[in-house]
A and B are shown apart, each in its own frame.
Chain A
Amino acid sequence: MAIIKLTSRIKVMERKPMSFMERIYLPAVFKGMAITLSHLFKKKTTISYPEQKRPMSDVFRGLHILKRDENGAERCTACGLCALACPAEAITMTAAERKAGEQLLYREEKYAAVYEINMLRCIFCGLCEEACPKAAIFLQNDVMAPPSFERGDFIYGKDRLVEPFPQI
C-alpha cells in the first residue's frame, strides 16, 4: 500500500539502539545539570509587581475618565452615543437639564446626572471613546480598574469617573 504523504516535512524517526555513552545516562545528566547551573546566574524574568511595573503602551485602554473642558466644566452632554456604541452594554446614564448658574459646572445645556459604567461588563474596547462627539470620555493608558471583593465596587459612578477639578 502506498503511503500518502500529507506534508513534505515528515521526519522519519530512526530507532537504533542506544550507544554505550547514551545508555549510562551520566553524560546527559551532567549536560542537563550544566544547563540548570547556567540558569542560576541568568537574569531573572520576574517583575516584583507592586514595586516594579511594566511600561504600558501609549494606546493601552485602561480605566475610563470623563474629561472637563479648559474651564473645568464637564464635557459630557448625556447624548447616549457611548451607551449605544458599547458592545457590552456596560454604560447607563440619566440626563438632566442644566439650571441657571451651573455654566461653570456643565459645558452644554444638558448633562449626565447619573453616569455609570459596570467594569465587570466592560471589555475595554474603546468604542465609547470613538463614539463620543464631545471628546468627553477617554480610556486612560496608565490606570487600570483595581480588583475588589465586592461586586458593587465595580459599578463606577460619576464620583470615580469624572476628572478631578484642575488644580489652580
Chain B
Amino acid sequence: MSDWVVKFIFIVVIFALSLFIAMYSTYAERKIAAFLQDRLGPNRAGPFGILQPLADGVKLFFKEEFIPRASDKWLFLMGPGLFICTALMTSAVIPFAPDLMWDGKLISMQATDLNVGILYIFGVVSLGVYGILIGGWASNNKFSLLGAIRAASQNISYELAMGLSIVALIMVTSSLSLKDIVSQQSGWHWNVIYQPLGFLIFIICAFAETNRAPFDLPECETELVGGYHTEYSSMKLGFYLFAEYINMFISSAVLATLYFGGYQFPFISSMDPGIAKTILGAAVMFGKIFFFIFFFMWVRWTLPRFRYDQLMNLGWKILIPLSVINILLTAGFILFKS
C-alpha cells in the first residue's frame, strides 16, 4: 500500500472516531449528569440505554427543518456547517499513538506532523467562533445575536490567556510540533509537572473556548432562550450540539497531548515499535482523553454559570496577568538552569 492510501485510511478512521466519540459523549453526559444527581439517566433504548444517541439522532433528523423568513438564508445554512467543519479539522495534527512499525516502515499515527502544530490548532479554533457568530447573526433574532456577540468576545478574551499560557509551554519544549512535544514527555516527564500554572490557565481557557459550563454564556438557557442556536431546529441544531462535543473531544486530546504526555506511559521506551506498542499507546492516549471528557462533564454538573462581568474580569484581570507571570517565571527558571 502506498503512503497516501494509509494516510487516507487513517484520516477516515480519525474522522469516524471523532464523530463516534462525540455521539457517545452526549450519552455519557446524560449518564454522568444523572449519576451526579443520584438519578439513573437514559436506560430505555437498548441495554443501559446505549442506543440513546441513535434515537436522539433519528429524532433530530425527523424534526421540522425551519428557516425563519427574516433570516439571511445562506448564512443561516452555513453557520452549523462551518462550526462542525472547524471542529473536525483540529484533530489533524494530534498524534494519537506511537509510530507503527509495519513491513519495515514506520507509519505515523498522526494525520500530518506540522512543524507549527500548535499554531494550526489555534488558527482553527479561532475560526470556530465564526460558525457561532454567523449562525447567531443570520438568525435575525435578538437572543441569537446576543449569544453570538457573547461567544465572540468570550473567545477573543480567553484566546489571549490561552496563547500566553502556551508561550510558556513552548519555552519549555522549544518546539511547536505536537509530535516533538509528546516525545519529549517520555516516562513521567509530563509538562504538567513543569507548567502547573500554565496548565491551570490552559484548562480554564479550554472550558471557555468550548463554551462549556461554567462558561456557557453564548447558550445560556436561563437568559437567552437558546443563545446563538435559538432559531435552529432539526439536524442544524444537531450540528451545533454535536460540534460542541467534538470540540470537547479535541480539547481533551490537546490537553492530554500538551500537558499529560499524550500516548506516553512509563515503560514505553523499553518496547519495540510494533502493533502492541501502538495499541497500548493509543489506549493510554484515549484513556487520558476520556478522563478529560469526564472532567469537562464533572465540572459542568458542579459549578454554576459565571455572570458576564465575572467572566470578563476573570479573563482580562486575572488570567492574562497570571499567564504573563507564568511566562516570566518559566523564563527565569530556564535562565537559572542554563
Contacts and interface: CB of A to CB of B under 8 A. Distances in A.
Interface of A: 29, 32-33, 35-37, 39-40, 42-46, 48
Quick one: which of A33, A35, A45 has the most chain B CB within 10 A? A33
Contacts of A35: 302
A43 B301 CA distance: 18
A2 to B, nearest CB: 38
Interface stretch (B35-43, B187-195, B221-229): B35-43
Nearest to A46: B40
Nearest to A34: B302
Given A29-B303, A32-B303, A44 B40 contact: yes
Contact of B302 (A36, A42, A43): A36
Interface string B25-49: 0000000100111111001000000
Contact of A39 (B37, B40, B43, B299): B37
A166 B53 CA distance: 50
Contacts of A46: 38-40
B38 A42 contact: yes
B120 interface: no
A45 B303 contact: no
A68 to B, nearest CB: 41
B298 interface: yes
A25 to B, nearest CB: 9
Contacts of A39: 35-38
Nearest to A28: B303
Given A33-B299, A46-B39, 12 more contacts: A35-B302, A36-B36, A36-B298, A37-B298, A39-B36, A39-B38, A40-B32, A40-B35, A42-B38, A45-B38, A46-B38, A48-B40
Nearest to B295: A33
A32 B36 CA distance: 12
A49 to B, nearest CB: 11
Nearest to B40: A46
A48 B43 CA distance: 9
Contacts of B298: 33, 36-37
Nearest to A47: B40
A44 B39 contact: yes
Nearest to A32: B302
Contacts of A43: 38
Interface in B190-212: none
The 9 A-B residue pairs with the shortest CB-CB distance in the complex, in nearest-first order:
A46-B40, A36-B302, A36-B36, A32-B302, A40-B35, A33-B302, A45-B38, A39-B36, A46-B39
A22 to B, nearest CB: 14
A29 B36 CA distance: 15
Nearest to B301: A36
A35 B303 CA distance: 11
Nearest to B304: A32
A140 B303 CA distance: 47
Quick one: which of A36, A37, A39, A48 has the most chain B CB within 10 A? A36
A17 B40 CA distance: 41
A35 B35 CA distance: 12
B170 to A, nearest CB: 25
A135 B55 CA distance: 52
B31 to A, nearest CB: 10
A32 B214 CA distance: 13
B165 to A, nearest CB: 16
Contacts of B39: 44-46
A21 to B, nearest CB: 15
Interface in B4-58: 32, 35-40, 43
Quick one: which of A35, A46, A48 has the most chain B CB within 10 A? A46
Contacts of B38: 39, 42-46
B295 to A, nearest CB: 9
A36 B32 CA distance: 10
A43 B35 CA distance: 9
A15 B245 CA distance: 41
